[in-house]
Amino acid sequence: MEQLAQLGRIGISTLERLGRGHVLLLHMLSGVTALLVRPKLLIAQIHSVGVLSMLIITVSGLFVGMVLALQGYYILSQFGAEETLGVMVAASLVRELGPVVTGLLFAGRAGSALTAEIGLMKATEQLSGLEMMAIDPIKRILTPRFMAGLISMPLLAALFSAIGVIGGHFVGVGLLGVDDGAYWSQMQAKIDLHEDIFNGVIKSIVFGFVCTWIALFQGHDCVPTSEGVSRATTRTVVHSALAVLCLDFVLTALMFGE
């Protein structure tokens, strides 16, 4: 009986959180029009959310591309199909690894920072202070960050894939001796704009949306103490990672299944 009540409590509090999350989302979206008038706010956030994440994305993309080329070459060479290495590298990156790994890195780099920032602003009464100055903190502080995440994530994923292709070229063509022309021309011929690239972009937009939403909600909903902020930051990373991986499966099934 006790356990049942416990289960019920957990269920109710989860539903409550979900509800608060959606209310927050609507509130943030209602601030988008006001943001259009002040693009400076958005640009500043794109800088801190997106531009500052570029380094980690670039380095990771490079290494992932290089590993893909190594592994791919090993398998493909067994069938004498080394020339298709470019296709393999590019398809893996554009369809899967670009959006997914970028999403995971984005949650760790930008998402955790957003949660900590908003949580600390709440704990130090900065958000209450804004309210008393008749400034809606959700529209003024959260909306620009949300839009910045939404815009940055697909661009970062594209960067990741592009750098990965270059890394694959460096290892495949430069070190393993795959034909340079074959690497590019096979890729050009086989990678489909709609099937591969468009679907990958959709994934990265969805991941950006979900990760930024989770990060901002956790920050805004945290217990306003140092422990509360640290817990919220952990939750952001864990929930975002799970959300990215689960959604990736769902999206992949919808896009490529049949």
How many residues bind other proteins, per CB under 8 A?
13
In the complex with other proteins, which residue's Cβ is closer, 136 or 248? 136
Judged by CB under 8 A, the stretch of 65-73, 79-87, 122-130, 192-200 that binds other proteins is 122-130
For other proteins, the binding residue among 58, 126, 230, 252 (CB under 8 A) is 126
In the complex with other proteins, which residue's Cβ is closer, 19 or 129? 129
In the complex with other proteins, which residue's Cβ is closer, 121 or 251? 121
CB 117, min distance to other proteins, A: 9
Spatial distance between the Cα atoms of 250 and 124, rounded to a whole number of angstroms:
40
Query: With 0-12 CB in 10 A as exposed, 13-18 as middle and 19+ as buried, what is 185?
Result: middle
In the complex with other proteins, which residue's Cβ is closer, 223 or 246? 223
Judged by CB under 8 A, the stretch of 132-140, 185-193, 215-223, 239-247 that binds other proteins is 132-140
Q: Rounded to a whole number, what is the distance in angstroms from the first to the last CA of the chain?
A: 45
What is the footprint of other proteins within residues 209-238 (CB under 8 A)? none
49 and 148 in contact (C-beta within 8 Å)?
A: yes
Spatial distance between the Cα atoms of 97 and 167, rounded to a whole number of angstroms:
14
Asked if residue 188 binds other proteins (CB under 8 A), the reply is: no
What is the footprint of other proteins within residues 134-153 (CB under 8 A)? 134-136, 140
CB 132, min distance to other proteins, A: 4
Judged by CB under 8 A, the stretch of 100-108, 120-128, 165-173, 180-188 that binds other proteins is 120-128
Asked if residue 129 binds other proteins (CB under 8 A), the reply is: yes
Asked if residue 124 binds other proteins (CB under 8 A), the reply is: yes
Asked if residue 33 binds other proteins (CB under 8 A), the reply is: no
CB 224, min distance to other proteins, A: 11
Asked if residue 26 binds other proteins (CB under 8 A), the reply is: no
For other proteins, the binding residue among 10, 22, 55, 131 (CB under 8 A) is 131
Nearest CA to 214 out of 131, 155, 153, 124 is that of: 153
Positions touching other proteins (CB under 8 A) are 121, 124-126, 128-129, 131-136, 140
